[in-house]
A and B are shown apart, each in its own frame.
Chain A
């Protein structure tokens, strides 16, 4: 409503701006505060004496001789071997996204192009599957996985995450493929392509915007997962989120909290970068389901 003819009374604009600014503070302050605090010692992060310690770094100055300290990061990444968890996360996330998208594009394309009733029912079943709490599925896996010695390995977790991801990926890609005109692949098939050739030579070159958006959400699901990774991975294969939860077991040992704080900031940083670069795609992905589905 930028149109000046429709500008309302200025008091309303001021109120709106104030409200939006308040929301910006509510949304961002926790992150800024934790980022700032992660370079302090525990005595400043949790200010026993005076909250201004966190700003001035009074205890940090006493304990380390500087305003800022990287002790939390050193402790987490080196002493507690958080790099191992980061590496595991990279592996799990990469393969989950690639496999999810491969299966999802094929399935989503089929659902978008099939006019039969069963395509509709499959989408409905996928919706029900999407609503299943992940922990109920995990409680189904655990016993068989223990029996068949599948428990604890990265590939098992990747496959499980791919499967849990499928209902959502199918829905999203299905609605993207509906937007690609049917005429494109139909004319290719009139020219003698098989269905697969039409998909390969006509659809694949134009599907990337939708695939990238869906990929972002697959990435978030795999990266943010706690339940599956915490329950299905052995200690050596742990990813970042369960590793942070592990730090908390010994929380109130002096200094250990700062390891967790540093790990939390390290884990959040890639998400920041992601939002910065892909804001447009994330927004369009969130609205795609609503507007089209």
Chain B
């Protein structure tokens, strides 16, 4: 294909991506370097019977005019990045200097909004991704063994948790784990604790969110693994059996190596998706006990005062996080590509 016709074909798609993905990223960076204008103050002289006093008041009109004229605010450099709502270097330095123990330092750190969000986002990503792969593999191996009549319905049912809107899926579970919902009531009965509530404590909320995450993503891993299982080389399996491999050894030394490329693929997709965990936090109303990076950007952008600059700074930090996450993949692909060329 000539350069010219390539350009003609790709242009609409490329233009959409540049305008609405690349430029917004630039916009985020620019916004994060600015901060809202300070209020315009005016000094008026107020004269009464006991002499004159100077009074400083906020000139609301001038402030509004200034903000309307230059909505992006004034240049602030990296100020927003280092303030208390973001990297909070001062607070971190104080916490480090005054630490009594390492865990004390981390609990101080956890009180800062950004670090709290990072803690949850990373824990969620690191816990949910492997569990998803494991559960998906188990379901795939299970479905592969059951009678053919069951296979179709299982695949149909399995797709549901994945395909349903994440907000809706989490709401459905949220209602069920409510202290008066069926799962919540059952748990109270099982643990013999009428006060038990999954919403009350941070650890329980974290566990709930991660359970939801696995429930939501396991079907994806299952479907991919199931397709992979259909292409396992039967001769190799046969040979392993003749050599005396038991069931577990067949899975461990024949099937899992065969599925390895799929594990890499699923991990990649899951890391990307889990890192932006957001909807479950809204669905489970879990923001008091668990916030993610996406959630704190969202909460900056809603409400009466939208803090664009604060949201933008968090966004830039999040994007950097995504790039760090993808770096191994990108480097590997680049090496493969170089290898092909040379």
Contacts and interface: CB of A to CB of B under 8 A. Distances in A.
B10 A136 contact: no
B102 interface: no
A33 B185 CA distance: 14
Contact of B28 (A106, A139, A271): A139
Contacts of B35: none
A73 interface: no
B16 A140 contact: no
Interface in A152-174: 159-160, 162-164, 166-167, 170
A195 interface: yes
Contacts of B330: 124, 127-128
A103, A130, A135, A245 interface centre (most CB from chain B within 10 Å) = A135
A226 interface: yes
A7 B159 CA distance: 27
Q: Interface size for chain B: under 10, 10 to 19, 20 to 34, or 35 or more residues?
A: 35 or more
Interface stretch (B39-47, B48-56, B146-154, B195-203): B146-154
Contacts of A164: 20-21
Nearest to B174: A248
A135 B224 contact: no
Contact of B141 (A16, A30, A167, A293): A16
Given A27-B158, A195-B2, A141 B24 contact: yes
A13, A20, A231 interface centre (most CB from chain B within 10 Å) = A20
Nearest to A121: B337
Given A16-B141, A30-B176, A132-B319, A286 B223 contact: yes
The interface residues of chain B, by DSSP majority, are classed as helix
A66 to B, nearest CB: 22
A179 to B, nearest CB: 15
A8 B173 CA distance: 37
B227 A133 contact: no
Contact of A137 (B24, B31, B182, B223): B24
A2 interface: yes
B270 to A, nearest CB: 12
A245 to B, nearest CB: 7
A6 to B, nearest CB: 8
A169 B159 CA distance: 20
B297 A136 contact: yes
Contact of B275 (A19, A124, A133, A167): A133
Contact of B139 (A20, A107, A194, A272): A20
Interface stretch (B78-86, B89-97, B105-113, B307-315): B307-315
Contacts, number: 298
Contacts of A208: none
A144 interface: yes
Q: Interface size for chain A: under 10, 10 to 19, 20 to 34, or 35 or more residues?
A: 35 or more
Contact of A279 (B156, B164, B265, B302): B156
A27, A103, A111, A163 interface centre (most CB from chain B within 10 Å) = A27
Given A140-B25, A271-B163, A116 B333 contact: no
Given A24-B153, A47-B182, A287-B224, 12 more contacts: A23-B158, A128-B323, A128-B330, A132-B21, A136-B319, A139-B31, A140-B23, A140-B25, A164-B20, A170-B13, A227-B294, A231-B302
Interface of A: 1-2, 6, 8, 12-13, 16-17, 19-20, 23-24, 26-28, 30-31, 33-34, 45-48, 51, 54, 102-104, 106-107, 109-111, 113-117, 119-120, 122, 124, 126-144, 146-147, 159-160, 162-164, 166-167, 170, 194-196, 199, 220, 223-224, 226-227, 231, 241, 244-245, 248, 257, 260-261, 264, 267-268, 271-272, 274-276, 279, 282-283, 286-287, 289-291, 293
Interface of B: 1-3, 5-6, 8-10, 12-14, 16-17, 19-28, 31, 71-72, 138-139, 141-148, 150, 153-161, 163-169, 171-173, 175-176, 178, 180-182, 185-186, 215, 219-220, 223-224, 227-228, 231, 237, 247, 261-262, 265-266, 269, 272, 275-276, 278-279, 282, 285, 293-294, 297-298, 300-302, 306, 308, 311-312, 315-316, 318-319, 322-323, 325-326, 329-330, 333, 337, 341
19 contacts: A17-B145, A20-B146, A23-B142, A27-B219, A30-B169, A31-B172, A45-B175, A110-B5, A127-B329, A133-B276, A133-B319, A141-B27, A166-B21, A223-B165, A226-B165, A264-B172, A286-B220, A286-B223, A286-B224
